């Protein structure tokens, strides 16, 4: 149908910028993908210019993708989803980004952002798909958008943040207005001042304006000359302090160590002495930084944020640390994994993040090991005083003997076993020698005391005729049912004395070997065992594990919309392809894909509909817009290379500024170019009016003047 667009009446209602941005994000795919040349190997590859754009190559064909707004593409990580926070990714020369699609609190839909009021520097927002969660920094710290963390004000370098200026402590102390300088004449960022009557106490002025009253550790006094806590004998003034149980809070050095020389013009470099201190070099000039309290600097990792848990970092000779800023008995430092403060409670520990603790418990029989940050067997943790279960009695009266048990080589048996007095298929084992547990052999097996493990009844004379004895009716039922099982019954043998090993047939079953003794285990329903994982807990999502020939699984335990207790599952209605559920222990969380994407169960992510290839997702097929537009049914649109256009565009019949887009070729949407632009059908995008015949005067004609 021919149309005279020059004479078409221009609509005066301007389109929201968000619609134009969203549509540009969708229909811009195509031109760049055609020019991108895929490497020989299938995979995901970064765009050379735009940090949040990447290409998915399959059989040499490139499909252009965008990370969710606010995230950027990291080609170095091995996860399926390679989109991450900007402060974790080195974009290099990939400086371009997609247009933002944010709101007042979230300049982009995802990320960590400063408070919109520049005077409020201690509050920031964690944005996830445009939903903002307000977070407040610990007192005295400011949010730094570059690292996505709270840091000391001089590190953040933000202007107009003086909430503590002129503040007065209860004893009347206020920070002097005169700026304190060091021996080199440099301003001291956090100056300290001696207490007038108490040698153990002193004041510190955060950022020079906010006063704090602090105390030295017991047995130390404040040395005004060195500006740190010291032994009393080193003081010129007699020790008059009152010993109080106060902890010294961390006061990071404000002045860059004059002796540190940048090895390169740019980069982050460790301090040679202090493991949580590092230097950021820019054009050869060094700025001293501190990791958040409890974390240490790892110079070997390639992330922008190189502060990590101590058990992941080899500090070498960098023994020193900043003073602890613990917030409670549970968090001796603000970040990290810490033991329960009661030394007799060895199976409970705390994960601390910015001083907020989360209590966690080890699996039965394990103790928390602070060096590795994980739960391990008690003999590995080697903690003292973990005797809360000593002398414990089971319901049948069994109690672990106090005598230490030895093996044939004279070595102490860490978890000794003992036979059941009346049931050949059962036995007792004493965790760490003190905590009694009741064990059960597999069907057709009995406990062999000589071997300290379950064995064939033929090898245990006193248990050969167990199924005939009246006291053992339960065991008899087990043996009889086992006799009807097929002859391919499998008995696992430990390949190494200790470790976790996969079952050869069932992907969510594994075996835990301890001193050659095997225990059969099952992953939580919905998860499978990953033998390649280096974690203590090797159960992971199905899409992260190669099961290969281990095709069997435990029977499912469905609850509601969760076919299994754990995992990511599609909506039970097959026509609803953009909604899925994250199930954790049978509790579901409903999640919605970004507009136009479908949930793909094999990868556990939202992907383009042609990649998900799900059937019956046509709830919007044949849909009609209010003006009557409908996506063509039998007119598959092709690009210049003969490839199908996933989301084809169509021009509006009488409005140069507007156009239609068919998501997945079936769901119609109406789009509008930004003010001053018109739709170019040849380029399939918005363009300058002079480049579109028939629309050159769209904004200059009589209708436009009248509308104005």
Q: Quickly tell me which residue has 């007192």 as its tokens.
A: 139
Are 110 and 150 in contact, with CB atoms under 8 Å apart? no
Are residues 599 and 628 part of one domain? no
Are residues 428 and 406 part of one domain? yes
- Does the residue 572 lie in any domain? yes
b/e burial code for range 268-293 (CB count within 10 A of at least 16 → b):
bbbbeebbbbbbbbeeeebebbbbbb
b/e burial code for range 389-414 (CB count within 10 A of at least 16 → b):
beeeeeeeebebeeeebeeeeeeebb
d(CA 311, CA 371): 6
Are residues 688 and 646 part of one domain? yes
- Does the residue 246 lie in any domain? no
Token readout for 26 is 């969708």
From residue 315, how far is each of 291, 294, 296 by CA, in Å? 14, 13, 8
- Does the residue 127 lie in any domain? no
List, in sequence order, every beta strand (DSSP E) within 312-422. Answer: 336-339, 348-353, 356-361, 367-369, 374-376, 417-419
First to last CA, the chain: 30
Residue 563 is predicted with a pLDDT of: 94
Are residues 456 and 405 part of one domain? yes
d(CA 126, CA 70): 11
3-state secondary structure of 705: helix
- Does the residue 513 lie in any domain? no
Are residues 653 and 581 part of one domain? no
Domain boundary among 88, 104, 125: 88
What is the DSSP secondary-structure string of 206-274? ETTTEEEEEEPPTT-EEETTTTEEE-GGG-SS---------PPPP----SPPTT---SSSSEEEE-SSB
Are residues 627 and 590 part of one domain? no
In CATH, what number is assigned to the domain containing residue 656? 2.170.140
Q: What are all long-range contacts of 297-300, with beta carbons under 8 Å and residues at least 24 apart?
A: 297/268, 297/270, 297/271, 299/268, 299/269, 299/270
Are residues 574 and 633 part of one domain? no
Phi and psi at residue 290, to the nearest 5°: -125, 140
Are 110 and 133 in contact, with CB atoms under 8 Å apart? no
Residue 475 is predicted with a pLDDT of: 42
Q: Which domain holds residue 573?
A: 567-612
- Does the residue 671 lie in any domain? yes
- Does the residue 182 lie in any domain? yes
Residue 218 is predicted with a pLDDT of: 63
The radius of gyration computed from the CA coordinates of the chain, to the nearest angstrom, equals 34
Are residues 582 and 644 part of one domain? no
d(CA 591, CA 610): 20
Residues of the chain with confidence (pLDDT) below 50: 1-15, 18-19, 21-30, 237-258, 466-488, 703-708
pLDDT in tens, 17-47: 544 544 444 444 445 556 788 988 888 999 9
If one counts every other C-beta atom within 10 angstroms of the C-beta of residue 511, the result is 18
d(CA 516, CA 627): 75
Are residues 625 and 582 part of one domain? no
- Does the residue 96 lie in any domain? no
Domain boundary among 180, 210, 233: 233
Token readout for 63 is 């499909």
d(CA 604, CA 581): 10
From residue 707, how far is each of 14, 689, 699 by CA, in Å? 11, 18, 10
Residue 478 is predicted with a pLDDT of: 41
Residue 23 is predicted with a pLDDT of: 47
In CATH, what number is assigned to the domain containing residue 595? 2.170.140.10
Residue 622 is predicted with a pLDDT of: 63
Residue 276 is predicted with a pLDDT of: 95
Instruction: Give this prediction's pTM.
Output: 0.28
As for how many domains the chain has, the answer is 6
Residue 480 is predicted with a pLDDT of: 45
Are residues 641 and 608 part of one domain? no
- Does the residue 556 lie in any domain? no
Are 659 and 673 in contact, with CB atoms under 8 Å apart? yes
């Amino acid at each position: 149908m021919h149309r005279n667009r020059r004479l078409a009446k221009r609509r005066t209602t301007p389109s929201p910028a968000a619609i134009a941005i969203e549509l540009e994000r969708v229909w811009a795919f195509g031109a760049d993908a055609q020019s991108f040349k895929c490497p020989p190997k299938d995979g995901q590859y970064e765009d050379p210019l735009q940090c949040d754009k990447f290409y998915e190559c399959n059989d040499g064909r490139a499909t252009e993708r965008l990370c969710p707004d606010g995230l950027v593409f990291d080609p170095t990580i091995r996860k399926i989803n390679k989109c991450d926070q900007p402060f974790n990714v080195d974009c290099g020369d990939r400086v371009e980004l997609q247009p933002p699609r944010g709101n007042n609190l979230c300049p982009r839909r995802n990320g960590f952002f400063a408070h919109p009021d520049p005077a409020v520097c201690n509050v920031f927002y964690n944005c996830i798909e445009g939903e903002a969660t307000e977070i407040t920094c610990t007192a005295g710290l400011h949010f730094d958008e570059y690292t996505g963390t709270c840091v000391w004000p001089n590190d953040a370098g933000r202007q107009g943040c003086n909430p503590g200026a002129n503040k007065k402590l209860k004893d009347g102390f206020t920070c002097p207005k005169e700026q304190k300088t060091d021996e080199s004449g440099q301003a001291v960022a956090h100056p300290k001042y001696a207490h007038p009557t108490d040698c153990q106490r002193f004041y510190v002025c955060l950022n020079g304006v906010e006063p704090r009253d602090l105390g030295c550790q017991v047995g130390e006094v404040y040395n005004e000359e060195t500006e740190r806590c010291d032994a009393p004998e080193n003081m010129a003034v007699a020790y008059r302090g009152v010993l109080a149980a106060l902890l010294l809070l961390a006061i990071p050095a404000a002045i860059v160590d004059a002796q540190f020389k940048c090895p390169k013009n740019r980069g982050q470099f460790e301090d040679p002495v202090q493991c949580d201190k590092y230097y950021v070099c820019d054009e050869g000039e060094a700025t001293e930084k501190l990791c958040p309290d409890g974390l240490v600097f790892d110079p070997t990792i390639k992330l922008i944020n190189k502060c990590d848990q101590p058990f992941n970092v080899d500090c070498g000779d960098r023994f020193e640390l900043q003073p602890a800023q613990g917030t409670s008995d549970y968090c001796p430092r603000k970040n990290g994994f810490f033991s329960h403060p009661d030394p007799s409670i060895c199976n409970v520990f705390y994960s601390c993040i910015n001083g907020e603790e989360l209590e966690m418990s080890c699996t039965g029989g394990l103790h928390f090991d602070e060096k590795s940050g994980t739960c391990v067997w008690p003999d590995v943790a080697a903690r003292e005083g973990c005797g809360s279960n000593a002398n414990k009695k089971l319901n049948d009266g069994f109690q672990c003997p106090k005598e230490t048990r030895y093996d044939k080589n004279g070595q102490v048996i860490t978890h000794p076993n003992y036979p059941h007095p009346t049931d050949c298929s059962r036995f007792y084992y004493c965790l760490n020698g003190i905590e009694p547990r009741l064990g059960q052999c597999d069907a057709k097996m009995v406990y062999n005391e000589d071997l300290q493990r379950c064995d064939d009844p033929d090898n245990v004379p006193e248990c050969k005729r167990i199924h005939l004895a009246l006291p053992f009716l339960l065991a008899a039922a087990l043996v009889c049912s086992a006799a009807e099982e097929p002859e391919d019954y499998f008995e696992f043998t430990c390949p190494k004395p200790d470790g976790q090993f996969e079952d050869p047939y069932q992907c969510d079953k594994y075996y835990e070997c301890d001193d050659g003794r095997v225990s059969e285990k099952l992953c939580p329903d919905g998860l499978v065992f990953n033998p390649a994982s280096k974690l203590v807990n090797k159960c992971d999502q199905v899409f992260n594990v190669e099961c290969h020939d281990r095709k069997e699984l435990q029977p499912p335990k469905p609850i509601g919309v969760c076919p299994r207790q754990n995992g990511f599952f599609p909506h039970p209605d097959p026509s609803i392809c953009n909604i899925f559920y994250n199930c954790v222990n049978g509790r579901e969380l409903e999640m919605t894909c970004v507009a136009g994407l479908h949930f793909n169960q094999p990868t556990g992510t939202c992907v383009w509909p042609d990649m998900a290839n799900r059937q019956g997702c046509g709830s919007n097929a044949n849909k009609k817009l209010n003006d009557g537009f409908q996506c063509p049914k039998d007119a598959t649109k092709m690009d210049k290379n003969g490839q199908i256009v996933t989301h084809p565009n169509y021009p509006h019949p009488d409005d140069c500024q507007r156009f239609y887009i068919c998501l997945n070729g079936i769901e119609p949407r109406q789009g509008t170019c930004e003010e001053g632009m018109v739709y170019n059908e040849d380029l399939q995008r918005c363009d300058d009016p002079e480049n579109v015949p028939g629309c050159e005067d769209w904004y200059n004609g009589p209708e436009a003047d009248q509308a104005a």
